[in-house]
Each structure stands twice: as structure tokens, then as C-alpha cells.
Amino acid sequence: SAAEKGGYPSFMLKEIADQPKAVADTLLGRIGGEEGELRLDEVRIAPSVLREVDKVVVIACGTAFHAGMIAKYAIEHWTRLPCETELASEFRYRDPILDQRTLVIAISQSGETMDTLMALRHAREQGAKVLAICNTNGSTIPRESDAVLYTHAGPEVAVASTKAFLTQLVACYLVALYLGQVRGTKWADEIRTVVRQLSEVAGSVQRVLETMEPVRELARSLADQDTVLFLGRHVGYPVALEGALKLKELAYMHAEGFAAGELKHGPIALIEDGLPVVVVVPSPQGRSVLHDKMVSNIQEIRARGARTIVIAEEGDETVVPYADHLILIPATPTLLQPLVATVPLQVFACELATARGNEVDQPRNLAKSVTVE
């Protein structure tokens, strides 16, 4: 009903708008102990067990898998534990190496995705400990896991996941930092810094939402296109994949995400005059090598006729000459950037789908929760 949609024309638009609150709610009560520590006692795997972990494996499907890809960067950076992220539907068929020292993280909004459930059962049979990151209280995946960290996105109704994704990212960052805290691989002051930055992100997401009118206008102008490509690097790569997935799900368009470094190994052959390419530009601070490589990629595709849609941080002047359309997002630490960079891509896909006359909450052929293998 209209009331359930809170005055928005669709659940998806409401859920996009709910994201600052969803992010804040997922942090609530979990950060900022006396020493600025994380308080994740709810993760019922003993610290002594977490200290013995020698490998992390993240399993998920769909949008949750993209959150898992980003988790890998955070976990390896903050804990120095090797981490791999794998599609749940591929995982158990390759006879993965798992034992008591493996921590498996299963990410699922619904907690009912059959492939993710089967993968976690397989992992537990091999003795691995499983931590679920889930949005649905009491659902099957958390019930069958050793521990759960709930995301507090609230019910997500639209089939295409938005607020659940942002809260999955928050939960992944919390788990990564918590592992660093418990294992003593990260200093308290670094954890404190990131925790503070995380608590500022909800405000940044709100600011992005307030500046989306030009993105909607751009989306409407692309309603007759057949293809949109997305490029990213580092954590911007899963963001590009997520942007492409949203466009497939909602606009039924051919959309593909690529790691920008792979351009010259194939995707650049797709570039032709007027082809829209969305580029997620890494933060210019800190890892400037990454940033500069991306700026050359934008130049390369533009020289071949691409219509560049550039998502970059406010104040990043270097990209201005190469951007046919510039979408500015607030400056955010590199690892946390997906929390803000994904939002314009959600708005873009939702608006484009609407312009093409599609029903955004119930896209054709898709289900909110896939309970078959």
C-alpha cells in the first residue's frame, strides 16, 4: 500500500532513501566502547577460537556476493588473514579446503538462499566455523550458523537489494575490524579512527541522496540505450559489478562491470561512439596510484568515443576534463567508499528502469529470495 511505501512511488525508492538510517542502525550499540572499541559480544564465537583462525572464506549470492567481494579487501587489510570470496553456488563443487581454523562468513539478506545454505552446511561438515551476516531474524542461515551478526536494515521488500547491501558492507567492516581487535593485528587507535569514519558515513550517504536529480535526469536520457558498461578498481570493482547487476535486474539492459585494469584484455574492444561507460574513481587521497591509473583509463575509453559518466570525490579536479557527466560523492576513506559510491548507481538503475516503463519492485523473472538450488 501507499502507506507502507512511506509516500514513495515504489518500495525501492523508499529503501534507497532509508539507507542513512539503515547504516546508522547497523552501527548502533556496536561501536564506541570506553576505549573506542567494538562491542560485538553477540558474535558467539569465542575470541580464543577467532585467534586460531588462519583463513577466512566469504560465501554469498547476488548482491550479497558483491558485499563479500568488498569484505575481502577489508579483512585482508585489517587482519592480514588470507580471505577468499566465492559464489555460494560454485563453492562446494570444487572440494574447497576447509578445517577447524577456517572462518566462513555467509552473507544473506533473507537468510533463506538455498545455495548459501548448502555451502554453509558443507563448510560446517568440514569443521569450519560459520558466521552469518543476515537481515532476517531467526531465518534458516543464522539458525544453522555458529554465530550471527544481524544487519539492521529493516524489512527489504523490493526484489533488487539496496539498503540490505549497504548494511552488509557495514557488518563486513565491523567483522573485519573486530577480528583485527581480537587478534591484536590492528592497533586500538587505528580501529578508533575507522570506527569514527564509519559513523560519519551515514551523513555522507544522506548528502549523496540530496544531490541525485542530475543522475535521474541522465538516467532518463539513456532510456533508449542497449548497453551500459561499468568500470572500477580495487573496492570500486565490486561497486561496478553491483551497478551493472542493478541495471540488468531493473532496466533489463545489457550491463557489464569490469575491473578497469582488464580493459585492454578485451572490454576496450566494445567501446564505440556514444557508448555510456560509468567509471567509479578511487579516492585521490592515500592510494593515488590507483586513482591515477583510473584517470588514464577514462582517457583511453574517451579517446575511443565512450560517453563517460564519472563518479568521483568532491574536489577531485583531475577527472573534470574527461567526464561527459560528473557525479560527485563526498570524500570517503578508500575502503569505505563503496558505501557512498553505490548509491548513485542504485538511483541510476531505478530511474532508468522507470523511464523504460518497468515495474521496479517486481522485476520480471526474479525472486526476492531464491530457495531452490
Q: Is 158 in the site for ligand G6P (CB under 6 A)?
A: no
Q: Minimum distance from CB of 370 to ligand G6P (Å)?
A: 5
Q: Is 209 in the site for ligand G6P (CB under 6 A)?
A: no
Q: Which of 5, 55, 293, 368 is catalytic?
A: 368
Q: Which stretch binds ligand G6P (CB under 6 A): 69-77, 104-112, 118-126, 193-201?
A: 104-112
Residue number of the CB atom closest to ligand G6P? 62
Q: What is the 3-state secondary structure (H, E, C) of the chain?
A: CCCCCCCCCCHHHHHHHCHHHHHHHHHCCCCCCCCCCCCCCCCCCCHHHHHHCCEEEEEECHHHHHHHHHHHHHHHHHHCCCEEEEEHHHHHHHCCCCCCCEEEEEEECCCCCHHHHHHHHHHHHCCCEEEEEECCCCCHHHHCCCEEEECCCCCCCCCCCCHHHHHHHHHHHHHHHHHHHHHCCCCHHHHHHHHHHHHHHHHHHHHHHCCCHHHHHHHHHCCCCCEEEEEECCCHHHHHHHHHHHHHHHHCCEEEEEEHHHHHHCHHHHCCCCCEEEEECCCCCCCHHHHHHHHHHHHHHHHCCCEEEEEEECCCHHHHHHCCEEEEECCCCHHHCHHHHHHHHHHHHHHHHHHCCCCCCCCCCCCCCCCCC
Q: Is 145 in the site for ligand G6P (CB under 6 A)?
A: no
Q: How is the beta sheet containing 55-60 ordered, strand by strand?
A: 83-87, 55-60, 102-108, 129-134, 147-150
Residue with cell 544473506: 108
Q: Minimum distance from CB of 255 to ligand G6P (Å)?
A: 15
Q: What sign does the dihedral 104-15-279-176 (CA atoms) show?
A: negative
Q: Is 85 in the site for ligand G6P (CB under 6 A)?
A: no
Given 20, 62, 142, 236, the residue binding ligand G6P (CB under 6 A): 62
Applying the rule CB under 6 A, the residues between 174 and 203 that interact with ligand G6P are none
- ∠ Cα 73 75 76 (to 5°): 70
Q: Is 23 in the site for ligand G6P (CB under 6 A)?
A: no
Q: Minimum distance from CB of 190 to ligand G6P (Å)?
A: 30
Q: Is 64 in the site for ligand G6P (CB under 6 A)?
A: yes
If the CB atoms of residues 294 and 347 are measured against ligand G6P, the closer one turns out to be 347
If the CB atoms of residues 79 and 108 are measured against ligand G6P, the closer one turns out to be 108
Q: Is 366 in the site for ligand G6P (CB under 6 A)?
A: yes
Q: Is 61 in the site for ligand G6P (CB under 6 A)?
A: yes
Q: Is 359 in the site for ligand G6P (CB under 6 A)?
A: no
Q: Which stretch binds ligand G6P (CB under 6 A): 32-40, 282-290, 342-350, 365-373?
A: 365-373
Is residue 368 flagged as an active site residue?
Answer: yes
Q: Minimum distance from CB of 169 to ligand G6P (Å)?
A: 13
Q: Which stretch binds ligand G6P (CB under 6 A): 7-15, 158-166, 203-211, 231-239?
A: 158-166
Q: Is 155 in the site for ligand G6P (CB under 6 A)?
A: no
Euclidean distance between CA atoms 63 and 162, whole angstroms: 9
If the CB atoms of residues 185 and 371 are measured against ligand G6P, the closer one turns out to be 371
Euclidean distance between CA atoms 293 and 352, whole angstroms: 29
If the CB atoms of residues 27 and 133 are measured against ligand G6P, the closer one turns out to be 133
Q: Is 161 in the site for ligand G6P (CB under 6 A)?
A: yes
Q: Is 373 in the site for ligand G6P (CB under 6 A)?
A: no
* Virtual torsion, Cα 77, 82, 86, 90, nearest 10 deg: 170
Q: Which stretch binds ligand G6P (CB under 6 A): 1-9, 24-32, 61-69, 125-133?
A: 61-69
Q: Is 368 in the site for ligand G6P (CB under 6 A)?
A: yes
Q: Is 110 in the site for ligand G6P (CB under 6 A)?
A: yes
Q: Which stretch binds ligand G6P (CB under 6 A): 39-47, 106-114, 261-269, 318-326?
A: 106-114
Residues catalogued as catalytic: 368
Interface with ligand G6P (CB under 6 A): 61-64, 108-110, 113, 116, 159-161, 366, 368-370
